Amino acid sequence: MKTTLIAALGLAVLATGAARAEGQMTHQTKQREMSATAPAEARFELGALVIENPFSRASLPNQPVGGGFFTVTNTGTEDDRLIAANAAPEMADHMEIHEMAMDGQVMKMRELPKGLPIPAGETVQLKPGGYHLMLMGLKQPLVEGETVTVTLTFEKAGSIEVPLAIGAPNAKGGMGHGSPVGQGQMKHGG
């Protein structure tokens, strides 16, 4: 009697374990499938770096540039630096790493010639109105709901390809390239 009970329990435990494993696998597969369309789920690891929620914004007609944004956390003990970003040649002429800052009353953006420092133990956000990637010389429109793949290169961690999920022209709000202020007053330095 006891043996039967223990055996039954054992089976139940085994069954639960199997169900859990299956559940996890389904969940992981779903996450991978969804990463292109659900920026909230997107997470990429590269050495000590964790890159989350890479996204872009749909371009307006004849818009010559496009933005790229993500959050990067340096979980390591060594400072790193984002030194380059690249897109396919059919997508854009080239890419730059930009910062935005007020110059008097005018919001200007300029290229960071030495790249963007990612200090050890810190999280750096690239977001509309702040640091961002810029696709220069867009060769095709950025379409909401699609993705554009970019290669990010870090000084220490190396390179990784990430898909930027393309949101609405004003995705994530803030003062961005698509805002009226941006259209009128933002100027590229250098």
Percentage helix, strand, coil for the chain under 3-state DSSP, each rounded to 5: 20, 45, 35
Q: By CB under 5 A, tell whether 134 contacts Cu ion.
A: yes
In terms of CB distance, is 48 or 98 closer to Cu ion?
A: 98
98 lines the binding site for Cu ion (CB under 5 A) = yes
Asked whether the beta carbons of 151 and 161 are under 8 A apart, the reply is yes
Cα separation, 123 vs 121, in Å, equals 7
Number of residues in contact with Cu ion, rule: CB under 5 A? Answer: 3
**Is residue 144 exposed (0-12), middle (13-18) or buried (19+ Cβ within 10 Å)?**
middle
Binding mask of the shown chain, residues 44 to 83, with x at each position contacting Cu ion by CB under 5 A: ----------------------------------------
Indicate the DSSP class of residue 40.
G
The CB-of-109 to Cu ion minimum distance in angstroms stands at: 4
Which single residue brings its beta carbon nearest to Cu ion? Answer: 98
Q: Residue 54 carries which side chain, given as an amino acid letter?
A: P
Residues 179, 152, 95, 79, CA torsion sign = positive
Pick the piece of the chain touching Cu ion (CB under 5 A) from 9-17, 55-63, 82-90, 105-113: 105-113
* Shortest Cβ 171–Cu ion spacing (Å): 16
Instruction: Find the binder of Cu ion among 51, 107, 109, 133 (CB under 5 A).
Output: 109
Window 18 to 37, contacts with Cu ion (CB under 5 A):
none
Strands 92-103 and 132-138: antiparallel
Pairing, β 92-103 against β 158-167: unpaired
- Binding segment for Cu ion (CB under 5 A), chosen from 15-23, 122-130, 134-142, 149-157, is 134-142
For Cu ion, the binding residues (CB under 5 A) are 98, 109, 134
